[in-house]
Amino acid sequence: MNYARIIHLKKIPDSRGNLTAIEQLDDVPFEIRRVYWIFDVPGGERRGGHAYRQGQELIIALSGSFDVTTDNGRESDTFSLNRSYYGLYIPAGTWREISNFSTNAIALIVSSTDYNEEDYIRDYNEFETYAEQKQQHG
């Protein structure tokens, strides 16, 4: 069973301003296909509320803070992201929702796949059935 987990990214401290870099298959445990970001989120809004069949992600709070709730069908966790040198790794087959965005928060999302609506599971009941079958048959 795969679990969502925080990955500590390297931070290069500098009196001129800090720097963090990510490289595929090193800091990020997959080949990077796509990067997108979520910004200008109105107060109280939530994003996500779906799972991917194949897609893996790394979610980083580039600016501000937000919470990510993950669910692999067995266990649910909530991670508070508020540092740009922490990444939350989300394995394939994980339901995830992002909430509690602070003002000016930016969520950077690094993905292992191209955008493909067919890869989404947007119905929670369908996800539960999918996760159960995956646990039984791998």
Query: Pairing relation of β-strands 86-90 and 57-63?
Result: antiparallel
Residue in 50, 53, 83, 134 annotated catalytic: 50
Q: Reply yes or no on whether 50 is catalytic.
A: yes
Residue number, 108 or 131, with CB nearest to ligand TYD? 108
Least separation in angstroms between residue 34's CB and ligand TYD is 6
| Choice between 68 and 131, CB closer to ligand TYD | 68
Q: How far is the CB of 126 from ligand TYD (least distance, A)?
A: 15
Residue 10 or 39 with smaller CB distance to ligand TYD = 39
Q: Report residue 39 CA to chain centroid gap.
A: 15
Residue in 68, 58, 53 with CA at minimum distance from that of residue 37: 58
The residues of the shown chain that bind ligand TYD, judged by CB under 6 A, are 34, 36, 38, 47-48, 50, 115
How many CA atoms are closer than 13 Å to the CA of 47, on its beta-carbon side? 19
Residue 124 CA to residue 95 CA, distance in Å, equals: 8
Q: What is the set of active-site residues?
A: 50
